[in-house]
Structures are given as C-alpha cells and as structure tokens.
Amino acid sequence: MTKFTVVTIVFLLILAFVMVFSTGAPGLVLAASICLAYLIVLGIGVSFIKLNFFTKAFSRGNPSEKTVALTYDDGPDPENTPRLLDELSKLQVKASFFCIGENVEKHAGLITQMADEGHLVCNHTYRHGRWTNFLTPGKLAAEISRTAESIEKITGERPAFYRPPMGLTNPRTAKAAKTTGSAVVGWDVRGLDRKATSPGKTIKRITGKARNGSIIALHDSGVDGKVMIAVLREIVDNLRKRGFTFVRIDELYSQREA
C-alpha cells in the first residue's frame, strides 16, 4: 500500500467523521480545511520524488557505501553532450544519462558513444512535455516504451531505469512505470543547474549535500556548456578527495539496502 493510499483513506475517514458529527458553518469550514490540507499533502507528494508518496523511487544508494552516481537529464544534446562525454572520459568517470526519446532518435550517434564508453543510457520519456506526467497511464506507458525501444535499437540493451520528467510523480506515473517494468529513479542531491550562469552555486550545493549513496541530478541539455564542464570538474575533484567513488545507477542500485 502506497503512502498516497494510506493518506487518502485517512483523509476520507476524517472527512466522513466531520460531515457526520459537525453541522452548520463551523462544520463546513472544518471540512474545507481538511480538503485543503489533503491537497497540500498531494502537492508535496507530486513534487518530491524521494518521499515515495505515489510509487517507490530509487533516490539514494546504500548509506554505508562511499559511492555516488552522476546523472544527466534531457539529452542527448548535439553541443553539450559530446563535450561532456569527452570530459567524463578524461576524468575516468562513468555517468548515467536519462535521455528523451525524441533526442535519442535525432542523435543516435551520441547514444552509441555513451554505451561504447561505458555509460548507462536510461529512460526519460519520449517527449518530456510540460504535461507528460499527467497523460493517461496508457499514453505515458507508450512514451516510456517508445523511448526504451529506440534506445534498445541503438545499444542492444533495453533500459531498466526511468526518471519522470522534472521528477514529478502521481498515480499515473506509478501505473505506467509498473506496466513497463521500469524502476523509477529520483535523486537526493539536485544541482538546479538549468538557469546557472556560473558554476559556483551549483558546485556548493552539490558538494555540500553529497553523502554516501547520493544520486546527483544534473543536465546535459538546456544548460551553459562551460558551466556544465566546470561543475563536473570541481565536484569530481572535491568528492574524490573526500573518498567517494563514482558509479553508474545500476551499480548503485545493486548496492542498495534490502
């Protein structure tokens, strides 16, 4: 039973009690307040994937293992991704890329390069539209499946891991992930790099929050390429000096606690 189900049952029981035993204006105000509180809880559940409110998401590895995973969303990008792959190669770091299906089909060569260089190619839906997470479960499952098929055609391997666009979850994303057999992946350290014009704040945020088993969320599309590389270099240097090892999501997943 998910947290969403438990909260909904409790909400309905409390609301029913109020409607039965409270009358007049005070009762209506109390009922409205309960409904508002429920909506606020739902909003928090939608927005924070690591709460596992609607579905269980893998947002952190084993806290006893000094390993972290770098993840990059929204690519591949014809300008940024090649630069990122080159830098990862120089640093000898393996990353996990959550790719948009449309971009996969447009830039198949970059997907091949990712796989050939030992990175993990993962699923980030086909279109990544503003309302993708709120499609019907069937349509959302089709988006996930189409992207998985596109990746499999290129790499020969079907992606097991899926990250919902913007990390938003709801009952529809939960059902679509279950239908497609995809493991949902979140994060516990978010770079907030999309609007960064300099690397400082992103570096400070990541190095300050990274811990054993951290999944670090960054982007290789829609970001400043120079900032992207500067952030990568600094966080790799900082975390390695602190004894961390960089691994792919599948390795971090295999280390998770039972």
What is the chain's alpha carbon radius of gyration, rounded to the nearest angstrom? Answer: 20
DSSP output for 32-56 = HHHHHHHHHHHHHHHH-GGG-SSS-
Sequence-distant (6+) residues with CB within 8 A of 230 are 199, 203
Could you say which of 74, 188, 219, 220 is catalytic? Answer: 219
Instruction: Determine what percent of the chain falls in helix, strand and coil, rounding each to the nearest 5.
Output: 55, 10, 35
Active site residue 220: no
**Would you call 219 a catalytic residue per the annotation?**
yes
Are 192 and 48 in contact by the 8 Å Cβ rule? The answer is no
Residue 213 in tokens? 């088993």
Q: What is d(CA 103, CA 148) in angstroms, rounded to the nearest whole number?
A: 12
- Annotated active-site residue in 73, 74, 77, 193: 73
Q: What are the start-end ranges of the E strands in the chain?
A: 67-73, 96-99, 120-123, 161-162, 183-184, 189-190, 215-219, 245-246
State the catalytic residues. Answer: 73, 219
